[in-house]
């Protein structure tokens, strides 16, 4: 599959980031297996712990609208470099997209693809 539309959606979502503390914008876009795209950006808060990452924003938005069958997620940042998901986001991705693809894109148009299990080989599980 060509993931250009997904990456473009993540780039657009990045511009909505609310980052008054770090000035580090992140955008994410997740696609369902039936082709629906949901986007998210990072949203900071003065009480830091209430901050939410772009990846989780996109995933939670999709889930809150009844979608749970994901194929891939694209992640971009204002750094211009590849920006992998944090540990919390890796855990969330592993739970909701265990067989998916994580796509990182930089400002040079280069991409890197990882399977979810490559980024988090052993996820936490209550079962």
Listed in sequence order, the residues at least 6 apart from 47 whose beta carbon sits closer than 8 Å to its beta carbon are none
Distance in angstroms (rounded) separating the CA atoms of residues 7 and 26? 12
CB 38 within 8 A of CB 29: yes
Produce one character per residue of 101-125: b if its CB has 16 or more CB atoms within 10 Å, e if not: bbbbbeeeeeeeeeebeebbeeeee
Annotated catalytic residue, options 55, 71, 110, 118: 55
Q: Is 44 a catalytic residue?
A: no
User: What are the residue numbers of the active site?
Assistant: 55
């Amino acid at each position: 599959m060509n993931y250009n539309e997904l990456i473009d959606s993540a780039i657009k979502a990045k511009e909505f980031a609310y980052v008054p503390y770090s000035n580090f914008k992140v955008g994410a876009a997740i696609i369902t297996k039936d082709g629906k795209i949901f986007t998210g950006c990072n949203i900071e808060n003065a009480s830091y712990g209430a901050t939410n990452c772009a990846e989780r924003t996109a995933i939670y938005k999709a889930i809150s609208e009844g979608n749970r069958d994901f194929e891939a997620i694209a992640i971009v940042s204002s750094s211009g470099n590849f920006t992998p998901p944090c540990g919390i986001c890796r855990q969330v991705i592993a739970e909701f997209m265990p067989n998916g693809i994580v796509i990182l894109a930089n400002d040079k148009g280069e991409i890197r693809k990882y399977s979810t299990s490559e980024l988090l080989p052993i996820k936490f599980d209550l079962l």
